[in-house]
Chains A and B, each alone.
Chain A
Amino acid sequence: MRYELREAGLSYGPAAVLDQVSLELREAQFTAIIGPNGAGKSTLLNILAGLRLQYRGSCRYGDREVRDWPRREFSRHIAFVQQANAIEFPFSAEEIVLMGRTPYAHGLFESSADRDAVKRAMILTDSADFRCRDFRSLSGGERQRVILAAALAQEPETLLLDEPSTYLDLQHQIDLYRLLRRLAEEQGLAVIAVTHDLNLAAAFAGRIIVLDRGRLVADDTPAAVLNTARVRDVFRVEVQIHEQANGRPFLTYGS
């Protein structure tokens, strides 16, 4: 199933944080959403995730408006990777991932199918080694992988991510984006990530959506979206854009 937004928007009080956004998001595609702070990226992601139901216009997933989906059923289709947040209580990594099976829960305990899905998700994200450790004792990179595994355990068609590389070192950033690309290309997921890292988006995403002051200003392949004029207009930064051997753009900026 795919998303279809028609003039979607959201206001807090009189100020529109997202305005007249129309776009389609489909399976087997890795889409990055970029834009400066306050551009409405997280708001758009929250609307897609079903966390802001008072949106204007239309945001359909499949044949229904997002706000009309029963939550439990919706969460079997859509998984949302929040930023690896602070957890107060001593849950193990595996227990966190098991919570991803809640949309399929019958009764108080997990089934063997639940355990299998959790195992697959933890192997895929390379987090099985520390499954018994207290989540709070993990490093930022390990936490992010566990949170991602919890989302994958939902066996979703669509994966939404809010700045997934924030706490990661360079190696883990690249590993994460490789995995996201693989999930889209090999497993057919719609992967939609909000990010501040233009080069990671340019190197791995198949499509980049640019938001500025709540408006959609560009929506195309990385090579078509990223040019010096647009980066200057949207981000107010002068950059040089280089073309890599694989045809993808790479940004550098003077100091």
Chain B
Amino acid sequence: MEARRVVQLTLAGLALVLLSALVLPMLGTASISLPAAWAGRSPDREILFDVRLPRVLLSLLVGGALGVAGVICQAILRDALATPYTLGVSSGASLGAVLAISFRWGGVPIASCLGAFAAVMLVVALATEGRRLSSFTLLLAGVTLNSMCFALILFLQNVATFGESLMIVRWLMGGIDTIEYSSLAWLTAAVLVITVWLVFHARDWNLLSIGEEWALTRGVDATRLLWAGYLAVSLLTGVVTAFTGPIGFVGLIVPHALRLKLGADHRLLLPLSFLLGAVFLALCDTAARLLISPAEIPVGVITALLGGPFFIWLLRSKRRSVWL
């Protein structure tokens, strides 16, 4: 992998992110004028800077985080179809949020973060054999936890009042709302720190995505890397899900499309999954705002409706390649 290629493509991706951040907030039900907003005139200023811009920025950040989390999950489990869902993180976060809604604890984001964290602890405890973390047991534990969490969510929704039940459903569909700049700032810091750390270990992810022994016999501490990767995925998914609910498929589509075009090297895959994941989710969220405006479609519905058919195509093309 040449440094020049990575830099060029990363800059191109960055340009797309900036373009999205500039253009997408201008689109919406109410037409606004940029000079008016800039001059501080109402309501243009409020619509642009307090409502649309933070929402677009949040969707960019969440999309990027989900893209990167997907790549790392796939490397850890050595499976192009793995996502944070497969590891049980997303369903833990969902259960936390649903508990908070059902019992009126308030602080749904905090509850969902705690849920993600609890899921991580549980899955890691189940998958630890001595000091080793086995990716196969990780997968099994994740899948098992998934079905248990969803059983509990169904139960809670069943006994909830009508209003709560509606809130639960809305949350589970995933959606991006406008957000305070202060929350956005610390969320950005957390996501960027984790992503940069992951990118700096890109060569090690290449080795781990081949196999643990492959990495070990080439001087990489695979066990430590596996732990770090799992922690990174949990943090990324946990904090992001806390604000938006579970949003599927970004972490599946974006890395897979990039691998088809650019190959499997994580030095390209990680930064570009972040940047294009960001653009993809920002576009989906804009579509969610615009398609049936003034009503809104939850963005989880858009990504799933785009992602579902893609996922099936992926499965089929994978099977076909076995026969050819």
Q: List, in ascending order, chain B residues with CB within 8 A of A91's CB.
A: 206, 210, 263-265
Q: Is the CB of A51 within 8 A of B259?
A: no
* Interface residue stretch chosen among B40-48, B97-105, B216-224: B216-224
**Per-residue contact bits, chain B 194-209, to A (CB 8 Å; 1 contact, 0 not):** 0000001011101101
Residues of chain A within 8 A (CB-CB) of B50 are none
A164 CB, nearest partner CB in chain B, Å: 15
User: Number of contact residues on A: which range applies?
Assistant: 20 to 34
Asked if B79 and A88 make an inter-chain contact with CB atoms under 8 angstroms apart, the answer reads yes
List of A residues within 8 angstroms of B209 by Cβ: 88-89
B2 CB-CB contact with A under 8 Å: yes
B80 touches A88 (CB 8 A): yes
CB distance from A132 to the nearest CB of B (A): 10
CB of B213 within 8 Å of the partner chain: yes
The docked-state distance in angstroms from the alpha carbon of A75 to that of B222 is 14
For B220, give its contact among A49, A71, A73 (CB under 8 Å).
A71
Determine whether B289 belongs to the interface, using a CB cutoff of 8 Å to chain A: no
Flag if B263 contacts A75 (CB, 8 Å): no
Is residue B267 within 8 Å, beta carbon to beta carbon, of the partner chain?
A: yes
B1 at the interface (CB under 8 A from A): yes
Known: A90-B263, A109-B2. A75 touches B218 (CB 8 A): yes
Given A74-B219, A103-B219: A95 and B265 interface contact (C-beta under 8 Å): yes
Inter-chain contacts of B220 with A (CB < 8 A): 71, 102
Chain A nearest CB: distance from B53 CB in Å?
A: 33
Q: Indicate if the CB atoms of A95 and B264 lie closer than 8 Å.
A: yes
B203 touches A108 (CB 8 A): yes
Chain A 90-110 residues near chain B, CB threshold 8 A? 90-92, 95-96, 98-100, 102-103, 105, 108-110
Interface: A82 (CB within 8 A): yes
Q: Is A89 a contact of B2 with CB atoms below 8 Å?
A: no
Contacts of A96 in B (CB 8 A): 210
- Residue numbers in A under 8 Å from B28 (CB-CB): none
Residues on A with C-beta less than 8 A from B221 are 71
